[in-house]
Amino acid sequence: MKKNLFMVLALAAGMSAAVSFLSFAGEWKQDYAGSWYDNGNGTYPAGTWQWIDSDHNGVAERYYFDENGYCVKDCVTPDGCTVDCDGAWIQNGLVQIRYLGINSYDEATKEALSGFVNEICSTGILSDGEEVRAEITAADLGTGEKADILYWYQSLYGRSTDCRFISVAGKIGTYNRVTSEVLDDVLYEVLGSSDNEAALALFGDPANGYVNGGQVNGMYSCSLQKEEEKPELYLKTEFCTAEKEVACLRGEVMVYQPDKEAYEPVRDFQAYFTENHNSHIAGFQFDRLVLSDRT
């Protein structure tokens, strides 16, 4: 069954756009076949998305490049997103943008990554018996944890930023439809996990509460997000920095103290993510979560 997804909705509600590879230098080029982007280091994007600040004003738009490296325009991309006549990703007719910082990532990225590490906490994997583990890696997450992360992912991003999910209005509320192939891809994108058969079987079993029934026309109908109780703990992120394609969240582990009716910091944490050019939510793949005594 699903475990508490505490604080994830509140922490990640500000996520407004998906993030892929970020381009800070380079230039557009044109030949007889179309437009392509020179990254400025002898490489060019192909078969992937890329955020590009074309006029160097600190604001980037997102473009999809086909397997030959050409920007696709005025169509629907292979993963179901819409791009306009200039090739920029649009939703509801509006070009999606991302503000680029210097040596740091914006609030949307910080909130998305914070939400992800909080979901890892909600699986209960931080504790090993009575001992609090000092480090958790993506490889430490088991079948149940992966299924929980899939449910968290579709609840937050399936309706807004990942166009591989189909949002459907029902009598009670909006829910998502998705194929098992997309779910498999999600686990690979956010965890680097390629051994997901057991997790997908757990997620796809209606008895476990993640989906409303079996597959219909190759798609699952995901259960609606339920209200969650006050969390026992969450990670309060203070900083989000990046260096050499690695993002690092730093902050405090906050634990609820019933006698004081308040949260108090008990430990420090650092969460590390590596860039994943094809990730649909934050452009990063989880690497490890490190806990330490407060300094």
Q: Which of 64-78, 117-131, 143-157 has the lowest mean pLDDT?
A: 117-131
Please name the amino acid found at residue 278: N
From CA 8, how far away is CA 133, in angstroms rounded?
21
- Beta-ladder partners of 63: 50, 88
Q: Which two tokens stand for residue 245?
A: 């394609």
Does residue 99 contact residue 90 with C-beta atoms inside 8 Å?
no
The mean per-residue pLDDT over the stretch 76-80 comes to: 90
The mean per-residue pLDDT over the stretch 268-280 comes to: 80
From CA 186, how far away is CA 234, in angstroms rounded?
23
- Name the class of domain 25-99: mainly beta
- Beta-ladder partners of 240: 249
The residue extents of the domains of the chain are: 1-14+105-295, 25-99
Q: What pLDDT is stored for residue 15 in this prediction?
A: 31
Q: For 153-177, write each residue's pLDDT tens digit.
A: 888 777 666 778 888 876 666 788 9
pLDDT confidence bin for 93, thresholds 50/70/90: confident
Q: For 189-233, write each residue's pLDDT tens digit.
A: 889 888 999 999 999 999 999 999 889 999 999 987 665 667 778
Task: Report how far apart, in Å, the C-alpha atoms of 17 and of each of 97, 109, 149 are.
Answer: 7, 9, 19
Q: What pLDDT is stored for residue 74 in this prediction?
A: 93
The mean per-residue pLDDT over the stretch 78-103 comes to: 78
Q: Which two tokens stand for residue 96?
A: 């999606």
Region of 181 (left: φ > 0; alpha: ψ -120 to 50; beta: rest) is: alpha
Q: What pLDDT is stored for residue 10 in this prediction?
A: 28
